[in-house]
Structure formats: structure tokens, C-alpha cells
Amino acid sequence: MALVAGVDSSTQSTKVVVCDAETGQVVRQGRAAHPDGTEIHPDEWWRAFQEATSDGLLDGVASLGIGGQQHGMVTLDEHGEVVRPALLWNDTRSAKAAEDLIRELGGPAEWANAVGLVPVASFTVTKLRWMAEHEPELAARVATVMLPHDWLTWKLTGEMVTDRGDASGTAYYSATDGVYRVDLLEKAFGKVPHLPRVLGPDEAAGRTSTGMLVSAGTGDNMAAALGLGLEVGDVVVSIGTSGTVFGVTDKLTPDVSGAVAGFADATGKFLPLVATLNAARVLSATAQMLGIELSELDELALSVKDAGGLEFVPYLDGERTPNLPDATGSLLNMRRHNMTPQNVARAAVEGMLGGLGAGLDAVRAVGLEAQRILLIGGGARSAAVQGIAPEIFGVPVEVPAAAEYVALGAARQAAWALTGQYPAW
């Protein structure tokens, strides 16, 4: 039995699944935590990868793929040393840099037409501008810029490569034209550092020192789409650290408002996506405020038919869509009679889902079909989320069996690179 492995190097942890290359059946898995925060030294990802794959987890594995959190800015000097801790997708300090870059190019439409998206603080290009302005001595040392999954691939193979899907989240790569927009990178950073070579969907990045094949890898959302085997009419709503709404399409329609990011997927198509900063942690923060467990939050939220007029604005970490990095959360329409734990719990779930529902409307507006919703991520396990989501989204909602879909998608890509054929599983 040939084995393949998929890695999900996410914001919070590294998860690894080892699968039968022919059937996709998971035969073993590992996990290790990452430190919390919005910036992290890449060595922590390597430490977590080594911990998650300890005790022979990768023994007998012929091919491995990596799905990594998108947008993170990894900077290396001419010796391959990390210049500064990586700024992650959820770091919003570059919000003003995003505004400046939009203005300098002539407005949102210019960016959407150039690279399929409009800069916000999450995207790599804005982090590079922030670094150039606020850390010029460090910026001067930067010789190479990579993304988190690129860095892990490089550590494994010594090859500086990426894929079209993850590259499309930088805002200096055109997924439509298949080229880096080095003019935009230079506008942001003042120079053009070395960038990873972009591989095709079924290309291999190289081999490890032990001879294991490593596939191109991709971003976490692209890997999740691979893991789920998305078809036209499927829309994924993922409720994790971030919230995402996305689906696969053959044709990219730029959204000049910037609400929808026109990413590439990991198969040669496109992955229009809306992301929110506030998702599952809205529920955990509300449970903490009420002094209860998440299971009790579910019970409270489902014990009432509505929130009694309360409206929860869930911008507890600022927000990416809409682009309000300095926004704060609010609980509105409070009266003595409706300030109950049940109503607060219900309002929190409705508020979080309402933000994702706005994302669903946005991807529909650029032509994505939505015949059913696939609800995934840690937050999808919530009974309250499952019960309330159909009311918010207005279409049938299915909850696939709990699985590590990012890691499974990375494993599917690894099998593709190994065999040259897209896996049927």
C-alpha cells in the first residue's frame, strides 16, 4: 500500500494525516500546537511539524503535500536566515498601508483588474509596505519573500517554490495571467526580492533528504477545496479561527468592491472567496463572558427561537470583510427584559453567521452558484450553528463528517504528484 501525507500548517496548530494513496483512507495522524498571536517565528512551524510527525508518523510515506495559512509574510536575508517574525494574515497593523496602496494605484478597480483582489491588511503586499515604512533597516536586509507553506516546502526540499493558489493571495500575483506583478511589489516594497517559482497543480517541488516526494503545496483554503472535492453549486462556509465562504469556478470575475478575493484554486481553476476575521472565537469569547462551556452556549442559543431583539456585531478582532480593521464588537438593542444569557448566546451565533451570510451574498454577486452549503471547521460542530445556519443562509446546509479537510486536500495533491493522476477519492 503506497502512503501519502498531508500537512495543515494553520494559525493555531500543525496537523498531519497519512493516507492510503489509492483510497484516501486515513491510517494515522499527528498534531502539535503553535503559539498564539499575529506574528510568529517560522521556526515554530518547523518545531510543530517535527513534533507532529515524531514517532515514525511518516515512515513509509512516498509523497507529502503542505497546506498552509495564507498571506503570512516570511522574509529571508541573503543567507536564508529569517529577518523578522512572520506577520500572519490576522495581523492588521498594515491597514493604512492597504489604503495607501489602493490610492497610489488609482483605486480599488485597478487592483481588482490587476490581481483579482483589492488590498486589505491581511494580504502580503500590505505587510511588505508596512515593513518598508516602519522597519526600513530590516527591510533593507530582505532578499527573499515567501509564504508559510513555501517556507516549509523549502525546509523540506531546499527548493524555493510555491503554487498558483497560495501565490494569488499575495496581491502581487495575477492568477488570470499566471505571472507575478513585480511592478506592484516594487511599488509596495521599494525593490523586488527573490520570489518562489510557481509550480503547476500536479508538479512536485522536490524530495526530502530521505527521498520522500514533496508536492507543490498550496494555501489552506485551496487545500480544503481539494479535500472536499468541491463541485459547481457547492459553497463552503468554514468556521475556524477565520470565517471563509468560497467555491470553485472556471472563470474569475473581479470584484472591484474588494469584498470577494479572486484567488486561484489548486487545480488550475479559480476560488472566489470572502474571509472574515471573526468566526469560531466569537462563540468561545461569548461562552467565556457568560462563564460557561461551549456546549452550554449551544443549549442556551437553541432554547429560544430568536435573540429577543438583541443584535450582536461580532467585530471582536477588527474585521477584514467589510474592511474595518479598527472596528469593535457591539451588543445592540439591550433592554432589561431581553438581557438574558439565552438571548445573548443566540445573538452571538446569529451575529457570527450573519457575517458569513453577507459573504455568501457577495460570492453570489460575482456569479458563484450556491445550491447547497457545506459547513466545515471547528465551529461547524456547534449544534447551535448547525441549527441556525439554514435560517441565515436560505439554502440547504450539510455538515460533512468531521475531518481534517486541509490536510486531506494536501494529501490528495501529494497523491496527484506521485501518480500523475488526480485521485478519485
Q: What is the pLDDT of residues 84-130, one digit of tens each?
A: 999 999 999 999 999 999 999 999 999 999 999 999 999 999 999 99
Decide: 87 and 134 in contact? Cβ < 8 Å.
no
Q: Rounded CA gap, 207 and 1, in Å?
A: 20
Residue 204 to residues 62, 69, 386, Cα–Cα distance (Å): 12, 20, 39
Residue 381: Cβ within 10 Å count: 16
Residue 253, phi then psi, degrees to nearest 5: -110, 110
What stretch of H or E contains 185?
helix 182-189
Q: Is residue 402 part of a domain?
A: no
Strands 39-40 and 311-313: unpaired
Q: Are residues 47 and 82 in the same domain?
A: yes
- The reported pTM is 0.87
Task: Return d(Cα 178, Cα 245) in angstroms, integer.
Answer: 24
163 is catalytic: no
All three cell numbers of 406: 486541509
- Which helix (H) or strand (E) segment is 105 a member of? helix 95-105
Distance CA 244, CA 364 (A): 14
Same domain, 171 and 51: yes
How many domains are contained in the chain?
Answer: 2
- Cα distances from 394 to residues 159, 372, 391, in angstroms, run 46, 9, 6
Residues 42-92 have pLDDT tens digits of 999 999 999 999 999 999 999 999 999 999 999 999 999 999 999 999 999
List, in sequence order, every residue forming a beta bridge with 28; answer none if it has no partner.
18
Catalytic: which of 220, 255, 265, 298? 220
Binding-site residues from annotation: 70-71
pLDDT category of residue 9 using cuts at 50, 70 and 90: very high
In a domain, 170, yes or no: yes
Enter the C-alpha cell of residue 416: 496527484
Residue 413 lies in a domain: no
Q: In this structure, are 179 and 302 located in the same domain?
A: no
- Does any domain span residue 418? no
**Confidence tier at 276 by pLDDT (50, 70, 90):** confident
- CA 49 vs CA 5, 17, 153, 309, 419: distances in Å: 12, 12, 11, 46, 25
For 372, the 3-state DSSP assignment is strand
303-326 confidence digits (pLDDT tens) = 999 999 999 999 999 987 888 889
In a domain, residue 411? The reply is no
Domain membership flag for residue 61? yes
Are 269 and 325 found together in one domain?
A: yes
Check whether residue 278 and residue 198 sit in a common domain: no
**pLDDT tier at 220, thresholds 50, 70, 90:** very high
Tell me the DSSP string of 193-204: -B-PEEEPTT-E
Domain with residue 254: its CATH number is: 3.30.420.40
Residue 299 placed within a domain: yes
Domain boundaries, position 184: 3-216
Q: Rounded to 10 degrees, what is the CA torsion of 408, 249, 259, 351?
A: -60
